[in-house]
Amino acid sequence: MYLIVGLGNPTREYEHTRHNAGFDAVDMLAEKWNIAVEEKKYKGLCGKGAAGGERVLLLKPQTYMNLSGESVRAAADFYKIDPDHIIVMYDDIDLDVGKLRVRAKGSAGGHNGIKNIIAHLGTQEFPRVRIGVGAKPDRMDLADYVLGRFSQVERGVMEDAFREAADAAEAIVEDGIDAAMNRFNRKK
């Protein structure tokens, strides 16, 4: 079984902000796989289904970003899912708007949601799909930037990025992390 997590913040005020890129990517995957992510469990919203011959659980933690690990750990413990079968999709300010980077493991890179997941899982060895939201402008507060919304032009680019992130998660499930990295980390 795979646990596929999209990071973000709950409530309408945060919908479609840069920090909720993971939620938007999971929503794209849920639509693609026809899975309703509506069940309230594991301190999040989740939905079960199948893809690539594997059972999958899609999860959107409702703990707010900085406590995402509580939700991920609760779901992983319940289903006894090893970290290498936990795929986390999230926003990354170190990548240009709409760019993706698939990784098998790594540090938090300053992302508080990932820091909390690493702390709760006790490892940084879990696959992730980083979704570029662009660097913050000079003299702008980081929190204001990531909690802000995309411009109309950026939003169009991000819709393609969410679709590609969903495809990357699907590739990890179906073909493995190495094949997914080879496919999605190529320069365009």
Rounded to a whole number, what is the largest CA-CA distance in the chain? Answer: 48
Residue 19 annotated among the catalytic residues of the structure: yes
Q: For residue 79, how many other CB atoms are within 10 A of its CB?
A: 15
Q: Which of 19, 85, 111, 120 is catalytic?
A: 19
Q: Which two tokens stand for residue 34?
A: 């026809």
User: Are 58 and 37 in contact, with CB atoms under 8 Å apart?
Assistant: yes
Give CA–CA dist 135/117, Å, rounded: 23
Active site residues: 19
